[in-house]
Amino acid sequence: MNTPFEPQFVDGLKHIFEQRIVFNRLLGLRIAEVAGDGVSGHLEMRPELVGHYSHQRLHGGVISAGLDAMGGLAVMAAIGARHMDEAVLQRLHRFGKLGTIDLRIDYLRPAIGERFELRAQVLRLGSRVASTRMEFLGADGKLLSTGAAAYIVS
Amino acid sequence: MNTPFEPQFVDGLKHIFEQRIVFNRLLGLRIAEVAGDGVSGHLEMRPELVGHYSHQRLHGGVISAGLDAMGGLAVMAAIGARHMDEAVLQRLHRFGKLGTIDLRIDYLRPAIGERFELRAQVLRLGSRVASTRMEFLGADGKLLSTGAAAYIVS
Amino acid sequence: MNTPFEPQFVDGLKHIFEQRIVFNRLLGLRIAEVAGDGVSGHLEMRPELVGHYSHQRLHGGVISAGLDAMGGLAVMAAIGARHMDEAVLQRLHRFGKLGTIDLRIDYLRPAIGERFELRAQVLRLGSRVASTRMEFLGADGKLLSTGAAAYIVS
Amino acid sequence: MNTPFEPQFVDGLKHIFEQRIVFNRLLGLRIAEVAGDGVSGHLEMRPELVGHYSHQRLHGGVISAGLDAMGGLAVMAAIGARHMDEAVLQRLHRFGKLGTIDLRIDYLRPAIGERFELRAQVLRLGSRVASTRMEFLGADGKLLSTGAAAYIVS
C-alpha cells in the first residue's frame, strides 16, 4: 500500500489540511510525511495552546484535535493510495466527504515541551468506514498520548 | 449533591476555566451554570474554529476539546460540593491536580450554527478517579455530539 | 419514533437475540422491552459469570458483551421502526447485516447482585452508521456501567 | 522492564487468570506468555461463542471480554515486574485490587476461524492508573480487533 504520491497530491493535501481547515492552522499542525500506510506531522508549543497554567502543559484538546485531524489525514492518504487511477483533484475532492464517527484519546503523560510529533496509521480501510490508530510524541520520541478513531468514508 | 456554591467559588472557577486555561479562552468557552450535579457552558462560532471549509462546520477538535474541558469542570464542581467544609481557595486549588485519563467523543451530527451549548455531568466521583458524561448541542437543543471521560482526581 | 411493533416482529427479534446468537444465550441475556426509541433487558447472576473470585463480582466482559448486544438490538429496533412498510421477515433479515464498529464501556461501580438491567438507546440512526448509548444497572436502579457504540447498518 | 519471572509467579497468575476468574474459563482464555513488557494468550472457537449465526463469527463480546482480561493481565505483569522485591504471593495478591476503569474496542474485521491470539501491552503504569493497548488476531496473524483500556491499580 506504500504508493509514492505525485507532488501535486501531497501539496494539495498539505494546502487543505494546513490552511483551509482553519482550526488546524490555529493549532499550527504541520504535515511531515504522507504515505498510503501512514502519515506524520508536528506542532510547536505556543502560549495560546497551554491547558495547565502552572505547568505550561499543552491543553488536552490540542492533542485530541490534532490526533483526530491526523487520523483523518491518514485515511485520506490511504484512500488516495487506493485510487491512484483517479486524477489528483478528484482524489483530493474526496477529503470533503470524510467525517469522524468517534474518537478515543488516552492521555499517558503530560505534554510539556517545545515541539511534538503526531503519527497516524489506518488499521482498516473499508468502503464505508475506516479505523485508525494515532500517537502523540514528545521531541525525544516519548509516547505522550494515543488515539483510536473511526471515520466515515463516503 | 446539589449544593449552592459561594459566588467566590463560582467566580474563581470561571476565572481559572475561561481565562487562565489559555486554550479554553482561544476556543471561547464560557461557563453558564456550575452545580455539584452538573455544569453547562457555551461557545460561539468563529471563522478560526472552522473544520470543514466548504460547509462552515465547527472543527471536531473544538468539540472534543470543549467536552473534555467541561467534563473536567463538572468533576471540579462535584469535588467542590463534596468539600464545602474547605475554604474557597483550598477547593479551587484542587483544580490544578485534575487530569484527563481518557476521552471518547461520538460525533453524531455536523455542528453548524452560531452558538453551541455544552453540558457535563459526573457519573461517579471516587477518591482517585471520576467518570463523566458530556453533551454538545446546537442552539435549538439538538444533540450534536456526546462524550465520556475519566479523570484522575488526586 | 415510538412505533408499536407487531408481536411477530418482537418475537422474531427475541428469538434471534436470545437463542440464535449463541453467546447471548450463554450470558443469559433477556429482552424486556423493544421500542423504536429504546430497548431494555436483563440478566441474572450465575457462578460462571463471575470475574472476581473473592467478591463474587460480575466479569466486566459480561457487561461489555451485554451492552454491545443491547446497543445492536436498539439499532435493530430503530431500523425496524423506520421500515414499518416492510414485511416482518424482511425487517428481521436486516439484523444479519449489522456490525459493531467500536465500543466504549465505563465501569463505574462493581456489579454485585442477583439481577441486572440493561438499557440502550439510539442517538442517531444514519443510512450507514448508527450511534448508541447504553446503561447497565443494578436491581435497585443504581447505574453500574455505561457504554457508547457505533454500528454499521448496511 | 523485561524481567524474567519466577515459575511460581507465572503459574500463580495462570491459575488466577484461567481458573479462578470463572468467566475467563468459560471463554477458554489461555495465557501463552507473561513478561513485564507485554503478555499474550489465545482462545479456541467453540459453538457457544458464536455471535452471528449465519457466518459462525465469534461474538464481539468474547473479543471485548478477552481483550479487557488481557489488558488487566498485562498490568499485573508490569506491576509484578516493578515489585520483584516482594514475595510471589504478595505480588499475586495485588491482582485482587485491579479494576478496569474503561475500555474501547475497535472491531476491524470479522473474527472467523478456529483459534485466535490476544496480546496486550502496558503503555503507562502509574501509581494509581495504568493504560494498555490490546490486539486480537487471527491464526494467520491478521489484526481483527484492537483495544485500549485504563485500569485502576490500588
Which residues of chain C carry a pLDDT beneath 70?
Answer: 1-3
* Interchain contact, D143 vs A131, CB within 8 Å: no
Residue with cell 439481577: C115
Q: DSSP secondary-structure letter at C140?
A: T
Q: Helices D60-82 and D7-14, interaxial angle, to 10°? A: 150
Q: What is the mean pLDDT of residues A125-149?
A: 97
Contact A150/C104, CB-based, under 8 Å? no
pLDDT for the residue A1: 47
Q: Which residues of A touch B48 (CB under 8 A)?
A: 22-23, 26
Q: Which of C123, C146, C150 sits opposite B133 (nearest CB)?
A: C146
Reported confidence tier of residue A78, pLDDT bands at 50, 70, 90:
very high
Burial class of D114 by CB neighbour count within 10 A (0 to 12, 13 to 18, 19+): exposed
d(CA A91, CA A82): 10
ipTM given for this complex: 0.93
C-to-D residue pairs, Cβ atoms closer than 8 angstroms: 118
Q: B61, A59: Cβ pair inside 8 Å?
A: no
The answer, for A146 touching chain D at a CB cutoff of 8 Å, is: yes
Closest residue of chain A to D122, computed from CA coordinates? A108
Q: List residues bridging with B31 in a β-sheet.
A: B41
Dihedral over alpha carbons D21, D24, D26, D30 (to 10 degrees): -120
Task: Note the pLDDT tens digit of each residue in D50-85.
Answer: 887 777 899 999 999 999 999 999 999 999 999 999
Q: Is B21 on the interface with A (CB under 8 A)?
A: yes
The 3-class SS string of A49-101 reads: HEEECCCCEECHHHHHHHHHHHHHHHHHHHHHHHCCCCCHHHHHHHHHHCEEE
Put simply, the answer to whether B131 touches C104 (Cβ < 8 Å) is no
Q: Is D42 on the interface with C (CB under 8 A)?
A: no
Judging contacts by C-beta atoms under 8 Å, the chain A residues touching residue D146 are: 123, 131, 133, 148
User: Is D106's CB within 8 Å of A146's CB?
Assistant: no
C104 to chain D, any CB pair closer than 8 A? The answer is yes
Reduced to 3 states, what is the DSSP secondary structure of residue C105?
A: strand
Find the closest chain C residue to B106 by CA distance: C131
> For chain C, how far is it from start to end, CA to CA, in angstroms?
20
List the one residue out of A30, A9, A7, A25 whose CA is nearest residue A95. A9
Chain A, chain B: beta-carbon pairs less than 8 Å apart: 118
State the 10-residue block means of pLDDT for chain B, 154 residues long: 82 94 95 95 94 84 96 96 94 90 97 97 96 97 98 91
Measured in angstroms, the CA of B45 and the nearest CA of chain D are apart by 31
With both helix axes pointing from N to C terminus, report the angle between B7-15 and B60-82 in degrees, rounded to the nearest 10: 150
Instruction: Detail the DSSP E strand segments found in D36-152.
Output: 38-44, 50-52, 57-58, 99-107, 115-125, 129-138, 143-152
- Confidence band, pLDDT 50/70/90 cuts, at residue A2: low
Tell me how far the alpha carbon of residue B101 is from its chain's centroid.
15
* Smallest Cα distance from D15 to chain B, Å: 30
DSSP letter for each residue of D66-78 = HHHHHHHHHHHHH
What phi and psi values does residue C84 have, to the nearest 5 degrees?
A: -65, -15
Residue segments in chain D with a per-residue pLDDT below the cut of 70: 1-3
Does residue C50 belong to the interface with chain D, where contact is any CB pair within 8 Å?
A: yes
3-class DSSP state of A102:
strand
Q: Are D65 and C64 a contacting pair at CB < 8 A?
A: yes
> CB distance from B97 to chain A under 8 Å?
no
- Smallest Cβ distance to D23: which of C20, C49, C107? C49
Alpha-carbon distances of A38 from A34, D36, D143, rounded to whole Å: 7, 29, 16
Touching D (3+ Cβ pairs <8 A), the chains are A, B, C
Global pTM value: 0.95
Of B101, B104, B128, the CB nearest to D104: B104
What are D64's three cell numbers?
471485548
Chain B partners within 8 Å of D152 (Cβ): 128-129
- Taking only the tens place, the pLDDT of each residue in C14-38 is 999 999 999 999 999 999 999 999 9
Q: Answer whether B46 touches A (CB < 8 Å).
A: no
Query: Among all residues of chain B, which has the CA nearest to that of C131?
Result: B108
* Residue D20 distance to chain A (closest CA, Å): 30
* Alpha-carbon torsion (C25, C44, D75, D28), positive or negative: negative
Q: What does the alpha-carbon distance between residue A41 and residue A29 come to, in Å, rounded to a whole number?
A: 7
Which helix (H) or strand (E) covers residue D81, if one does?
A: helix D60-82
Indicate the residue of B124, B133, B143 with minimum beta-carbon distance to C109: B124
Helices A7-14 and A60-82: angle between axes, nearest 10 degrees: 150
Q: Of the candidates D101, D104, D131, which has its C-beta nearest B129's C-beta?
A: D101
> In this complex, do B68 and A49 lie within 8 Å of one another by their Cβ atoms?
no
Task: Specify the DSSP class assigned to residue B49.
Answer: G
Identify from B102, B131, B132 which residue to disrupt to test chain C contact, counting C C-beta atoms within 10 A and taking the largest count: B131
Distance CA D42, CA D59 (A): 15
Contact call for C133 and B146, based on CB within 8 A: yes
CB contacts, 8 Å: D53 with chain C: 16, 20-22
Task: Tell me the residue type at C147.
Answer: G
User: Are C105 and D103 inside 8 Å of each other by CB?
Assistant: yes
Longest distance between any two alpha carbons in chain B, whole Å: 52
- pLDDT at A102 exceeding the cut of 90: yes
DSSP conformation class of B68? H
B106 touches chain A (CB under 8 A): yes
Contacts of B105 in chain C (CB under 8 A): none
Contact D148 A148 (CB under 8 A): yes
Best CA proximity match to A63, nearest among A128, A1, A149, A2: A149
Asked if C128's CB is within 8 angstroms of A101's CB, the reply is no
The answer to whether the Cβ–Cβ distance between A123 and D146 falls below 8 Å is: yes
